[in-house]
Amino acid sequence: MSIEDKTRLPILGLMADGNTPEGLYESLREAFESEVGAASAAGLESLRNRWLGRRSGLLAAANENWLKAAPRELKPVVGRLQNALRRHSDAALKAAVKAAAAPARRTSEVDPTLPGPARPFGAVHPVRRALEDVLRIFRPLGYNVVEGPEIETFFYNFEALNFPPDHPAVDEMDTLFLKDGMLLRTHTSPCQVRVMESSQPPLRCVVHGKVYRNDTPDATHSPMFHQLEMFAVDETITFADLKGTLEHFVRNFFGPGTRARFRPSYFPFTEPSAEVDITCPFCSGSGCRICKHTGFIEVLGCGMIDPEVLRHSGLDPERYRGFAAGFGLDRFAMLKYGIDDILLMYQGDTRFLAQFR
């Protein structure tokens, strides 16, 4: 018999068939429980009508046909059963609606063997890495590391370094001028003057930092790049000291097989001056496209500090002499790590940077 039919029958007839009031209400409760258990969140509202609806609900029918129709002596028992089921089904429906609205509860335990969320690690930028490689070579030789201002005066950037006023580097094509006669330094050499002005020889110094030139960006030019400069001032320094120091440096930086070749050159702030080529790190000197089949690549400029520069810095050129060398750190990084475009270093592309982890 369906649950609807059962609640439509008078209680005495049902009891004549062998049912007890307790058994009748128990069968109602069981039917109710199984319907609530199977109902979807949306189905719970119609379930409330079906069971607790005032006029046509199943409990209203039981109230009518079982409780009201019960003989007087049965009424206390049936009334208690009727009330208990009404309270129970009301509370159970409310709880089911609340549970359906709450977010799904995590049923499984945490699995500690699963990998955690990926934590992206940073990488040392290739320029910084090249800088650290250079400093690791010069620090044990007794060199101090200094950084000077990126905004310079005309005096420190050019005049004190013995540039004639009509030197092409002074031209606005290369130099980025600011207000009030200030400029963005075009090289790190002005720091030589600043250091010599403020401290007495013997001096051994590495200067590094950003420099700026009004260049159109391409694979080998960036309007901002990094230079590194080393210089030493003392009473007995010779060109042989410069050669020995630089040979030691390039062998340690590029590898023990690296040879250095000194070619006469010109810089306003050194005399004599030289440019240094090293055996091509890509073909070890046998000749390739990168070294244009010469086996050598030019990497730095150097020379003996011009007596005029010592004088501008307040040092007596009769007593002191010094050597200096400078190069682009970006270019060193490119040669050492096989990077073929300087602009890659300034685009912040993490796919590029991640290669230097």
In the complex, the smallest distance separating the C-beta of residue 191 from ligand DAH, rounded to whole angstroms, is 10
Q: Which is nearer to ligand DAH, 6 or 187 (CB)?
A: 187
For residue 291, give both structure tokens.
């070294």
In the complex, the smallest distance separating the C-beta of residue 251 from ligand DAH, rounded to whole angstroms, is 20
In the complex, the smallest distance separating the C-beta of residue 328 from ligand DAH, rounded to whole angstroms, is 8
Contacts made by residues 336-344, CB under 8 angstroms, sequence distance 24+ = 336/130, 336/133, 336/253, 336/254, 336/281, 337/126, 337/129, 337/130, 338/282, 339/126, 340/219, 341/219, 342/219, 342/220, 342/221, 342/222, 342/225, 343/217, 343/218, 343/219, 343/222
Q: Which is nearer to ligand DAH, 197 or 349 (CB)?
A: 197
Q: Which is nearer to ligand DAH, 244 or 338 (CB)?
A: 244
Residue whose C-alpha is closest to residue 275's, from 260, 284, 288, 265? 265
In the complex, the smallest distance separating the C-beta of residue 254 from ligand DAH, rounded to whole angstroms, is 19
Q: Which is nearer to ligand DAH, 66 or 231 (CB)?
A: 231
Q: Which residues of the shown chain bind ligand DAH in the complex (CB under 6 A)?
A: 187, 189, 229, 267, 270, 301-303, 324-326
Q: Which is nearer to ligand DAH, 89 or 157 (CB)?
A: 157
Q: Which is nearer to ligand DAH, 41 or 141 (CB)?
A: 141
In the complex, the smallest distance separating the C-beta of residue 176 from ligand DAH, rounded to whole angstroms, is 14
Q: Which is nearer to ligand DAH, 156 or 267 (CB)?
A: 267
Q: Residue 308 — φ and ψ, nearest 5°?
A: -65, -35
CA dihedral 221, 224, 226, 227 (to 10 degrees): 80
CA dihedral 57, 59, 61, 62 (to 10 degrees): 170
Q: Which is nearer to ligand DAH, 81 or 246 (CB)?
A: 246
For residue 309, give both structure tokens.
């520069």
In the complex, the smallest distance separating the C-beta of residue 120 from ligand DAH, rounded to whole angstroms, is 36
In the complex, the smallest distance separating the C-beta of residue 286 from ligand DAH, rounded to whole angstroms, is 28
In the complex, the smallest distance separating the C-beta of residue 221 from ligand DAH, rounded to whole angstroms, is 13
Q: Which is nearer to ligand DAH, 11 or 309 (CB)?
A: 309
The rounded distance, in Å, linking the Cα atoms of 288 and 301 is: 23
* Residue 146 and residue 205 in contact, taking contact as beta carbons nearer than 8 Å: yes
In the complex, the smallest distance separating the C-beta of residue 216 from ligand DAH, rounded to whole angstroms, is 18
For residue 224, give both structure tokens.
């901002």
